[in-house]
Structure 1
Amino acid sequence: MSTPPIRIVSFGYLHDAPPEAELVVDVRQLLRDPARMKGAGLLDQDGRDAAVRQVVLSTPGAATLLDIVSQAVDVARVTRKPMTIAFGCAGGRHRSVALAEVLAGLLDAEGVTVELEHRHVHLPRVVREGDNREGHRR
């Protein structure tokens, strides 16, 4: 009997409410936003880019967060129940996408079938009041 696919969704809270999922991880207060790092050149990239993933994964707590989520996946694998995991950040382009990509890669390497969806990665960057044109707070 095989493990049901694990569905992983990334999204942005500034665009939409979280999708229905067994586990929703809100990373807005947990991990620094790569788009807001001056001089990093990551503003127009997204979590599918290696440089963005590197910054996200080097944030204190990111590895522990992935370990915790992986433990939840282990439960789904043992019980053979389908599972959806959703990662949400502000705009759905950097942190949530990077974590979804990394988790999908880890699970795929273990032979788990993964369905990966990035809901908002294609949308323009959200500019908030007080941001300058480069996307950094003044």
Structure 2
Amino acid sequence: MAHIRITSYGTGHHDNPTAPDPVIVDTTALHNPPDDPAVRATLTQLTGRHPDVAAYVLATPGAHQLLDTARRDIEQRITHGQQHIDVHVHCYGGRHRSVAIAELLAADLSVLDDYIHTHHRHIHHPILPTRAPAAR
């Protein structure tokens, strides 16, 4: 039986979790409610645990493939006998995209006979201001 610890967090808080050789899931390319004027008012104050936010994030092209890749990586580690697996799911603020994907990944993995613990590091932190585009 493997122990899987899924941690969601926002890189904008500058206190990323540490673990030896974690599975990294980068959700920064997925749709982000605070960046979208069409849903900002309705979804921003919710978190990735809310079904509407999760559906919004999953509607991003490539979101399902991101989940599939993470699940395969975790399952491969289990097959190779790894007993403790850390999964770090990140976005910029740690309230929407990373939380939604971490929750969906935990639900997908729940069919395995393994212990899964999910922790959302920044889910209750204030929403961070949008990052300025990189200077060219």
Which category describes the TM-score, using the shorter chain as reference length? 0.7 to 0.9
* Cα pair 2:54 2:100 within 8 Å, conserved: yes
**Distance in 2 between residues matched to 1:14 and 1:129, nearest whole Å:** 9
TM-score by length of 2: 0.85
Corresponding position: 1:16 with 2:18: no
* Cα pair 1:31 1:62 within 8 Å, conserved: yes
**Distance in 2 between residues matched to 1:43 and 1:117, nearest whole Å:** 20
* Cα pair 1:92 1:119 within 8 Å, conserved: yes
Residue 26 of structure 1: CA displacement?
2.3
**Distance in 2 between residues matched to 1:128 and 1:95, nearest whole Å:** 14
Amino acid of the residue matched to residue 91 of structure 1? G
Deviations 1:56-104 (A, max 9, x none): 1110000001010011111121122111111110100000000000000
Q: Percent identity?
A: 35
**Distance in 2 between residues matched to 1:60 and 1:18, nearest whole Å:** 26
**Distance in 1 between residues matched to 2:17 and 2:45, nearest whole Å:** 25
Unaligned stretches of 5+ residues in structure 1: 131-138
Residue 112 of structure 1: CA displacement?
2.8
After TM superposition, list the pairs within 5 Å mapping 1:34-113 onto structure 2: 34-40=33-39, 41-81=42-82, 82-113=84-115
Alignment: residue pair count: 127
Partner of 2:125: 123
**Distance in 2 between residues matched to 1:16 and 1:129, nearest whole Å:** 14
* Cα pair 2:74 2:85 within 8 Å, conserved: yes
* Cα pair 2:25 2:66 within 8 Å, conserved: no
Unaligned stretches of 5+ residues in structure 2: none
* Cα pair 1:100 1:116 within 8 Å, conserved: yes
